[in-house]
């Protein structure tokens, strides 16, 4: 059994992405408790809505660099 925190950390970092995500989810649940199913569904719905908006061309993505540059320009006016 692994008991040393460094060993646990090293083992976790060697997991594939899917298992790292599963472990991270379990650890966060152990800290914050279970996710409210209604809140989780609301986020799923929001993500789907945004995805459809992007796919339809109604919305577009912009790089953080461009957004910050535009924000700074507007603030300076």
Query: Is 41 within a domain?
Result: no
Domain extent for 63: 5-35+49-76
pLDDT above 70 as % of the chain: 97
Lookup: tokens for 6:
């460094």
Q: How many domains does the chain have?
A: 1
Query: Is 44 within a domain?
Result: no
This prediction's pTM: 0.53
Give which of 39, 37, 35, 11 is closest to 25, Cα–Cα.
Answer: 35
Query: Is 43 within a domain?
Result: no
- Cα–Cα distance between 31 and 34 in angstroms, integer? 9
Per-residue pLDDT tens over the stretch 9-38: 999 999 999 999 999 999 999 999 888 899
Q: What pLDDT score does 2 carry?
A: 62
Query: Is 22 within a domain?
Result: yes
Query: Is 9 within a domain?
Result: yes
Query: Is 12 within a domain?
Result: yes
- Cα–Cα distance between 50 and 45 in angstroms, integer? 9
For the chain, the farthest-separated pair of C-alpha atoms sits apart, in whole angstroms, at: 62
Q: What pLDDT score does 53 carry?
A: 97
Q: How far apart are the first and last CA of the chain?
A: 62
Query: Is 23 within a domain?
Result: yes
Query: Is 66 within a domain?
Result: yes
- Cα–Cα distance between 61 and 66 in angstroms, integer? 10
């Amino acid at each position: 059994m692994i008991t040393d925190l460094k060993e646990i950390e090293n083992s976790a970092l060697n997991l594939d992405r899917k298992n790292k995500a599963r472990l991270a989810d379990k650890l966060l649940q152990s800290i914050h408790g279970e996710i409210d199913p209604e809140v989780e569904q609301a986020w799923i719905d929001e993500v789907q809505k945004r995805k459809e908006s992007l796919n339809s061309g109604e919305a577009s993505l912009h790089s953080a660099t461009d957004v910050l540059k535009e924000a700074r320009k507007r603030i300076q006016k």
